[in-house]
Amino acid sequence: MNIEQCVSSLSMPLPEDIMKRKWAGDLDGAVKAIDLRLQQPLPEMLRARLVCEKERIRRLPTQYPYDRAQALAKLSELIGQDVSEAEFERLELAGWVDFIYIGGEKRYFVRFHRSMLKNGALAHLTGQAKNPAHAYLDPMIEEIMEKGEAKRRITLKASLYVDKEAFVPGEYLAHLPLPIEDAQQSDVRLLDGDPDGLGDAHAQARTMYWRRTLDAWRTFDATYSYVSHIRYADPLGRPAPDAPLYPACAAPCEEDLGEHGAYMRFTPYLRQLAAEITAGETGDVMKAWRIYEFVTTKVTYSFVRDYFQLDNQGEYCAVNLKGDCGLQALLFILLCRISGIPARWQSGMSIDEHYAGSHDWAQFYLPGWGWLFADPSYGGSAYRAGSEKRHRFYFGNLDPMRMAANRMYQAELTPPKTQLRVDPFDNQSGEIERIGAPLPFTMRQLDCDVALLACQRL
């Protein structure tokens, strides 16, 4: 199987009868129809699409584990009070509750309730009030604005493993994200661990990897440190500097303005949307700001099913006006590129004193300033909280508490996998495959734990 072609085939639709069966909840019938088609001579890309869809259908039920009663109970438990059937129905009709049909029954998304708590959709039930202050981020933002920079040496310990219930002895290939050398990030040091190799420091998606024959379950562990150095940018309020803030960044290239793969597509809707958002603006600074404003104020943060399950992720975000950090960053990049502004992907982790978890953001290029950052997810959170300063800060800047492992969406891993990845598009939590296994692991069969060991102010 050509994995790259399989993923790229997601740019094309399914045969209509198979699509009808899938979204009607007849997953078994959809798989049988796919198997029947695959016995026939088919165009190569159509064959790849059907193979890919069969794997998507296999994974889909794992993301929708709750029936109606369980979903209602989960929501009530989360907010600490009973939610009525009528209120649940209202939330569902308003588009806040993600569901699909499986075998004639509604099944609910594993994190639907946490999305609503995060984005404020439950404020009328919980009594949540806007609080513009952020005890962790605001002091760092003040430091960056006052001093013009913030610099930290961050030490993390990461562990990647297959759930014990999913482990089978055999030969394993594991990839654990490793910091890239780019823009704000440098001096990466592996302090502990036994990987078989480290990816190139300037790889599009950097990992350390293990290829081991395992008789017993184990974790793949590494401790590393790196320097994160943020330089303050205020493109809305200041003229461009004499030299780019991040001179180590490669100059913009054709790829930073173009379409790519199954996900980075300039659809008619996105072209019209970009024109509508930037109407009347002639300079890149204000065009990029209008795009950032749209994504941060019109798109609601929402956890979504695995990216592997979404056909056109940027347009999905723009049509549904909801999405997580990755979909928001991707939409920002697409709209910038359509508007003639070079834009790139960055992703890895965000870190605070209690948590280190997967996160995505964007880079965009402005004449004079060079490559700057935009974090629509953090910016949108600031907007909803009523913090104008923090909202504006994340247009041009990041806080230093990030680990960037990727500079491109849908970048290949080295060494390449032989099976479909858990996430074919992003590389935040790592990948594991058992060589020769008939089926790849799903996202719910792997775990990645990351702990902050030290953060030194430089």
Same domain, 47 and 87: no
Q: How many domains does the chain have?
A: 3
Q: Residues near 264 by Cβ (< 8 Å), separated by ≥ 6?
A: 258, 314, 330, 333, 334, 337, 409
The answer to whether the beta carbons of residues 349 and 403 sit under 8 Å apart is: yes
b/e sequence 326-365, b meaning 16+ C-beta within 10 Å? bbbbbbbbbbbbbbebbbbbbbbbbbeeeebebbbbbbbb
Count the residues in the chain: 458
Same domain, 152 and 253: yes
At 314, list the tokens. Answer: 């940027």
Which stretch of 30-34, 48-52, 257-261, 338-342 has the lowest confidence by average pLDDT?
A: 257-261
Last residue of a domain, which of 126, 142, 172?
126
Same domain, 22 and 109: no
Residue 220 sits in which domain range? 132-458
Same domain, 290 and 185: yes
The answer to whether the beta carbons of residues 362 and 384 sit under 8 Å apart is: no
3-state SS of 82-135?
Answer: CCCHHHHHHHHHCCCCCEEEECCEEEECCCHHHHHHHHCCCHHHHCCCCCCCCC
Model confidence pLDDT, tens digit, residues 74-92:
999 999 999 999 999 999 9
The answer to whether the beta carbons of residues 132 and 386 sit under 8 Å apart is: yes
Last residue of a domain, which of 36, 63, 90?
63
At 202, list the tokens. Answer: 């300037």
Mean pLDDT of 329-334: 98
DSSP state of 15: P
Model confidence pLDDT, tens digit, residues 223-248:
999 999 999 999 999 999 999 999 98
Q: How many alpha carbons lie under 13 Å from residue 199 in its C-beta half-sphere?
A: 24
Same domain, 118 and 222: no
Same domain, 253 and 392: yes
Q: Which residue has the tokens 């569902």?
A: 92
Whether the pLDDT of residue 49 is over 80: the answer is: yes
Burial class (CB in 10 A: 0-12, 13-18, 19+), 221: middle
Last residue of a domain, which of 63, 79, 109?
63
Model confidence pLDDT, tens digit, residues 5-20:
778 888 899 999 999 9
Same domain, 175 and 293: yes
Q: Give the Cα separation of 14 and 17 in Å (integer).
A: 8
* Torsion angle in degrees (nearest 10) through CA of 336, 258, 304, 128: -10
> How high is the pLDDT of residue 1?
60
Mean pLDDT of 411-427: 92
Same domain, 105 and 247: no
Same domain, 333 and 423: yes
Same domain, 76 and 31: no
Q: Residues near 286 by Cβ (< 8 Å), separated by ≥ 6?
A: 278
Same domain, 114 and 145: no
From the list 429, 430, 408, the residue with the least C-alpha distance to 417 is 430
Q: Give the Cα separation of 404 and 180 in Å (integer).
A: 6
State the pLDDT confidence band at 382, using cuts at 50, 70 and 90.
very high
Same domain, 285 and 351: yes
